[in-house]
Amino acid sequence: MDSFKYIQAKWVYGYHRPVDAIAKLGIKDGDSLLIVGSGFGKTAMMAAKRFKCNVIGAEIVPFFVEKANKRTHEEGLNERVNFIQLDPVSPYLDVGADRVFFESFLSFLENPSDVLSYYSKKIGDEGRIGVMEITYLPNVESEGLTARLKEFFGEDAHFRDRGSWLNIFLESKLNRVAEDEAQLSLIRKFWEDFREEPWGIIRDLSRTLYLSYTEEKAGKAMRLFRRFFREYSDKMASSYYLLEASR
């Protein structure tokens, strides 16, 4: 797996969208939250701060886990936030949680229904599951588009439309409680991220721009990122689904 292309599936919609989605899970002070596909840990740390919950982040890329745990120590959140390695072949953790949130992870699995079914059994009777994924907008012809998107997100990316996700949830015996869809927009991403954490976004954006001008690899990545929005943002959305297990 190309780890950079994998993480881009989270970067295209930013921080505000997943944190807002987690709020809809009904997280309470002291609850436990499992985030599958936690990346560099930004969503997990923001959730811990906002909702006063305990967070376990699970990620398949070892470097992301190492980096995320380092950041929690730097921000003094290591007592409430922890990141662990997830087996990419068998992504099943034997941990219980009040809520489970999948962030741009299931789209990198050929059969996500097995994973959803497994984790639905790990939450309590009042537990909920949140799913945040990049999807095709309605009426977009995805034939041929899926192959082209692999240039940006890697060979393991399997993006789907709303109907395909609803069928997956049905197979997983999960009831859809709520959903939300927003077309991808670079301007909206930066504006919503800025409102969420202004100084952090200014710092991160400044560092990214500096690297894009001083390092060839970073510059290439930035150009690829911008080209995705220029060519495909009118065809793609960030979609959120709130699910409950059928009892």
Whole-number pLDDT of residue 145: 85
Is the sign of the CA dihedral 7, 11, 17, 20 positive or negative?
positive
To which residue do tokens 């997100």 refer? Answer: 153
Contact 91, 36 (CB under 8 A): yes
Strand order through the sheet with 32-36: 81-85, 54-59, 32-36, 97-103, 123-136, 236-245, 174-183
Give the pLDDT confidence of 167-182 residue by residue, as tens digits. Answer: 999 999 999 999 999 9
Contact 106, 158 (CB under 8 A): no
Fill in the amino acid letter for 57.
G
Does 46 score more than 70 pLDDT? yes
Q: Is 242 helix (H, G, I), strand (E, B) or coil?
A: strand
Q: Is 93 helix (H, G, I), strand (E, B) or coil?
A: coil
Q: Domains of the chain by range and CATH?
A: 3-185+235-245 (3.40.50.150)
Give the pLDDT confidence of 105-121 residue by residue, as tens digits. Answer: 999 998 999 999 999 88
CA pair distance 17, 8, nearest whole angstrom: 15
Q: CB 160: neighbour CB atoms within 10 A?
A: 20
Give the pLDDT confidence of 120-162 residue by residue, as tens digits. Answer: 888 866 678 999 999 999 888 777 788 889 888 999 999 999 9
For residue 40, count CB atoms less than 10 angstroms from its CB and return exposed for 0-12, middle for 13-18, buried for 19 or more: buried
